[in-house]
Amino acid sequence: MDNLAVLSLLALAPILLVGILLAGFRWPAKYAMPVGYIATVIVALVVWKMDFLGVIAASLEGVIIAATLLYIVFGALLLLSTLTVGGAMSRIRAGFNNISPDRRIQAIIIGWLFGSFIEGASGFGTPAAVVAPLLLAMGFPAMAAVMVGLIIQSTPVSFGAVGTPIIVGVGGGLGGDPAVAERLSVLGVTMAEFVASIGFQVASMHAIVGLLIPLILVCMLTGFFGPERRFRDGLAIWPFALYASVAMTIPSVLVARFLGPEFPSLFGGLFGLILVMFTSSKGFLMPKKTFDFGPRATWSPRWMGTIEPAAAPVASARGISIVSAWAPYVLMAVLLVGSRVITPVTGFLTGIAIPFNNILGTDISAAVQPFYSPAFLLILASLFAYALHRMNGRQIRETWVVSGKQLAGTAVALLFAVPLVRVLIQSGPDLNMSDLSSMPVTLAEGAAAVSGSSWPFIAPFIGALGAFVAGSNTVSNLTFSQFQFSTGNAIGVNPEQVVVAQAVGGAGGNPIAIHNIVAASATVGLLGREGDLLRKTILVTLYYCIAAGSISFIFIYGLGFNLGSIMLVLLMTTLGLIVRWMLRQKAAVLAPEPTRV
């Protein structure tokens, strides 16, 4: 079969099936992902004529990767359980309440700023695994906590794990392409300078598109989880939300310009966190009316998971200072940064690996780095907390038992979700007898054939598709950067600008990455509600891709009566109508009831 349109639809079918089961029928991921996996295998074997051993090898590769994700989830669960049982969490909760008891402020400071810092240090889903349980322990509904953790995995993601999506994803994806070498010669730059330039453009676009993310976050928080379900309650703190946004994004752009792609999210998140916490403690832009979620008895059962960290006994919390309570998180952050930026340490930790080479005689290989994984550092932080908070044997045993039981619920979903992804990605000509490109690349080729010169608008959606499928901006960039560059050349536009759109879209797709949703949900015991979360986070991804596509189109073709300008006007008009609706909703609520005769 060589009909690109039909092949594209068949490549899309397993992804579409999973999306319909999760978001449409609200199936739990533990049921939807096995069905999606079976559909993927059937398409791979029947249409792509993928070698059976290749399918099994790709599936085993997925199981290995899933095990590493479960390792990270366990580390996050253990740290949460440790801080809760030991009493530190109630002190942390009190400390944030001293800055502001307002849940909107807490979501921005912990999710957007602290989460951006963790993303810059570690990436690969770690921020949601850290932020979600922290917010849960502070009194957020489990679903709200996960939603916050997923939404913030957008703007800072392109520079996660010390710039891995740009350095490894874009750099590795473009490396070895003769067309790229020719472009370097024309521009008179080295490959490293070229990648750094792309990184700066990515940071600049994120600063524009990501400006509204904290505001969107709090509007969704109040609209979906507020006692009166009013989105306008989030809009009410727009000055603080925009201030917190630029406190992170402007430093990240400057860092990308002068230091390179390794540190924009790391330093941007850290600078923004310090600045905003300091100014917030002084009352700067603090709301006059405090927002909370209302009595727990009024919460929807679908908001809550199986993990409900009880408040630690008052006696245990009294002996823990705010510095001591935060010390395990500080240690975790220091270890994350040190393990990523201190070259000898990085080399030592990455050198200790469990290799799985040429699985079943194929070219598929994988490796597990148990001591470089964020999971190991989360466990070290837990061990540190045992000693610092003087926890006894019964308490320590309780943290491990509870964490192990909580982990079990997510294993099925991840053990099918990741193999599904790897079969999709590994379905290329190396492992099939049809000489077809892999399913994700075929789908992208089909979209390019239809779009023509409109491709710069479509490019971010392909990046988001890669992130949705692979759960990683790095993998999305590795998979599609060369294709995006070639498409840019083919339609006669600046090819690196198309790659920028790819990278930004890949970051915007992370909030809907299935195994990110499953892993983050596991940290708060919210299993079986993945579809509910997907319905919410897809709104952020759609905004991100439409905005990035419109801006990319305008950067390439200029302002005028064209697709980019029209879509940007439509997006701004839509956002304006939403704001107007919020304000009219407020007026309607405040208006006095008509007098009855």
Distance, CA of 275 to CA of 322 (rounded, Å): 19
The 10s digit of each residue's pLDDT in 367-426 is: 899 998 888 988 999 999 999 999 999 999 999 988 888 777 667 777 888 888 889 888
Which pTM does this prediction carry? 0.82
Dihedral pair phi/psi, residue 153, rounded to 5°: -85, 60
pLDDT in tens, 5-57: 999 999 989 988 988 888 788 888 888 889 999 999 999 999 999 999 999 99
The candidate with the shortest Cα–Cα distance to 10, out of 451, 539, 434, 413, is: 434
* Alpha helices in 87-102, H assignment, sequence order: 88-99
Tokens of 304: 């809550």
Q: Which residues pair with 356 in a beta bridge?
A: 366
Give the span between the Cα atoms of 22 and 505, in whole angstroms. Answer: 22
DSSP state of 319: T
Chain segment 132-158, per-residue pLDDT in tens: 988 998 889 999 999 999 999 999 999
- Do residues 414 and 66 make contact, with C-beta atoms less than 8 angstroms apart? yes
SS (H, E, C) 172-215: HHHCCCHHHHHHHHHHCCCHHHHHHHHHHHHHHHHHHHHHHHHH
Task: Work out whether strand 366-368 and strand 354-356 pair parallel, antiparallel, or are unpaired.
Answer: antiparallel
Domain boundaries, the chain: 4-283+319-409+431-587
Spatial distance between the Cα atoms of 489 and 476, rounded to a whole number of angstroms:
20
**The two three-digit tokens of residue 532, written as one number:** 């509910």
The answer to whether 365 and 355 have CB atoms below 8 angstroms apart is yes
How far, in Å, are 290, 347, 349, 402 from residue 343 at the CA level?
A: 46, 6, 10, 36
Residues near 340 by Cβ (< 8 Å), separated by ≥ 6?
121, 122, 161, 162, 346
More confident residue, 388 or 479: 388
- Residue 409: predicted pLDDT: 62
Please name the helix (run of DSSP H) or strand (run of DSSP E) that holds residue 248, with its range, or none.
helix 238-258
Structure tokens at 318: 């009294």
- CB burial of residue 310 (10 Å; 0-12, 13-18, 19+): exposed
Q: What is the pLDDT of residue 1?
A: 61
Mean local confidence (pLDDT), 438-458: 88
Identify the band that residue 595 occupies on the pLDDT scale cut at 50, 70 and 90. Answer: very low
In this prediction, residue 588 carries a pLDDT of 43
Provide the 8-state DSSP code for 366.
Answer: E
Classify residue 356 by its DSSP letter: E
Which amino acid is located at 587 in the chain?
A: A
Specify whether the CB–CB gap between 131 and 346 falls below 8 A.
no
End-to-end CA distance of the chain: 75
Q: Which of 435, 429, 457, 458 is nearest to 446 (CA)?
A: 458
